[in-house]
Amino acid sequence: MAAIFQGVGAAAPLSSSPSNSFDSNKSVFSPPRSFSVVRSDGIVNLNPKGRSAQRLISNAVATKADSPAASSSSKPGHELLLFEALQEGLEEEMERDPRVCVMGEDVGHYGGSYKVTKGLAKRFGDLRVLDTPIAENSFTGMGIGAAMTGLRPVIEGMNMGFLLLAFNQISNNCGMLHYTSGGQFTIPVVIRGPGGVGRQLGAEHSQRLESYFQSIPGIQMVACSTPYNAKGLMKAAIRSENPVILFEHVLLYNLKERIPDEDYICNLEEAEMVRPGEHVTILTYSRMRYHVMQAAKTLVNKGYDPEVIDIRSLKPFDLHTIGNSVKKTHRVLIVEECMRTGGIGASLTAAITENFNDYLDAPIMCLSSQDVPTPYAGTLEEVTVVQPAQIVTAVEQLCQ
């Protein structure tokens, strides 16, 4: 295997490698039957086949942040689905830096379980796009070792739940080797894959592993939610010298958005202001961003002005953006798909309480998934996940 990685020619530094610091300021596939193509700035009904989902008001009074976008045909750039944006970012980085390689199950000529790596094996060859056996612990360890020698591997978990089999490698090696080697090694590895509650995928395929990985020292975690930030976070994670886990939601791969033609990256430690507001700060990420924005339409109709922030960086938190919002609204609602016990919301609640407690006029509220295995039955699955109507009710209670 060492010969394989030497063959990639990766250990030598690039003479024109871009800086790893960030300024704070095309494939086609047939989607699964349960997916629907929607725009990332629109109202998204992510409930299974519309079963018993409460339909919220869709023609709410628009504010400056809710104004309809201009016709997509008049905007510069090009339209991509989220999975295509991830693929484009990965392909651009592989073209830019010969040290970047991909490994995982079916990532080669099959193109990955959700086609994020489609066409890359044909373009870059089997050594840089390496199909692996069904052995997550083994190929994750192989990727970490490759990173120690100077490569920049992107490790795909066919499903995030499968990466529990590689937890030892991610925890004891990926997160700690830079420290335990006394700084002799950096581990510039990206671990990515689909996760979250899908549509009747069963408990084992509906894992939210953010809570598992957040306690590992030395690892950064980000969650993409739009094609724009999916591409930007993918490129930034590959260029980072730190190990980064990129969480992708299985129900967001077919979101469509127009993204710039020019090269760009997103800050790995920066939250995104989705909707400015005055009355309450709503912190969310990944799929729940769209449940929150759907609820925001109803809240505006009821006279509330919520501020919505997609935290994006799950570790570390962007406490600058979050803190400025808390100081303005004095009320916080956290909406997540992660489990309530020990989840991202629990950590975020602790961070806000420790740093901004004096600015709060009401206790922090957190809406999370129920602490139960995700049911297979669609109606039961829906009940375990936060729905827009619950968000509306929570904001009304906070603002009383």
pLDDT in tens, 228-269: 999 999 999 999 999 999 999 999 999 999 999 999 999 999
d(CA 248, CA 131): 20
Lowest mean pLDDT among 45-49, 186-190, 320-324: 45-49
Q: What pLDDT is attached to residue 74? A: 62
**What does the pLDDT look like over 143-164, one tens digit per residue?**
999 999 999 999 999 988 899 9
Q: What pLDDT is attached to residue 287? A: 95
Is the pLDDT confidence value at 70 over 60? no
d(CA 308, CA 278): 10
Lowest mean pLDDT among 15-29, 188-202, 209-223: 15-29
In terms of C-beta density within 10 A (0-12 exposed, 13-18 middle, 19 or more buried), how is residue 225 classed?
buried
Confidence band of 100 (pLDDT split at 50, 70, 90): very high
Residue 136 catalytic? yes
Residue 93 catalytic? no
- What is the pTM (predicted TM-score) of this model? 0.81
Q: What percent of the chain has pLDDT over 90?
A: 72
For residues 211-233, give the mean pLDDT. Answer: 95
From the centroid of its chain, how far is CA 216? Answer: 18
Q: What pLDDT is attached to residue 204? A: 84
Q: Measuring CA to CA, how many Å separate 280 from each of 58, 299, 351, 360?
A: 21, 11, 17, 10
Return the number of other C-beta atoms located less than 10 Å from residue 184's C-beta: 9
Q: What pLDDT is attached to residue 130? A: 96
Q: What percent of the chain has pLDDT over 70?
A: 82
Element containing residue 334 per DSSP (H, E): strand 332-339
In terms of C-beta density within 10 A (0-12 exposed, 13-18 middle, 19 or more buried), how is residue 146 classed?
buried
In terms of C-beta density within 10 A (0-12 exposed, 13-18 middle, 19 or more buried), how is residue 323 classed?
middle
List the end-to-end C-alpha distance of the chain, in Å, as a whole number: 63
Q: What pLDDT is attached to residue 75? A: 74
Q: What pLDDT is attached to residue 51? A: 37
Element containing residue 142 per DSSP (H, E): helix 136-148
Does residue 316 have a cis peptide bond before it, meaning omega lies within 30 degrees of 0?
yes
Lowest mean pLDDT among 19-28, 187-196, 197-206, 365-374: 19-28
**Active-site residue among 84, 136, 156, 337?**
136
d(CA 164, CA 176): 17
Could you write out the DSSP letters of every residue in 12-74? SPPTTPPPS---------PPPTT---EETTS----SGGGTTPPPPPSSPPP-TTTPPPPPGGG
d(CA 47, CA 34): 10
Check the CA dihedral 318-321-325-327 and report its sign: positive
d(CA 199, CA 154): 27
Q: Which of 297, 374, 291 is nearest to 335 (CA)?
A: 291
Query: Tokens 């739009």, residue?
Result: 226
Is the pLDDT confidence value at 96 over 50? yes
- Three-class DSSP category at 175: coil
Confidence band of 73 (pLDDT split at 50, 70, 90): low
Query: Tokens 């040290």, residue?
Result: 99
**Active-site residue among 88, 105, 178, 205?**
205
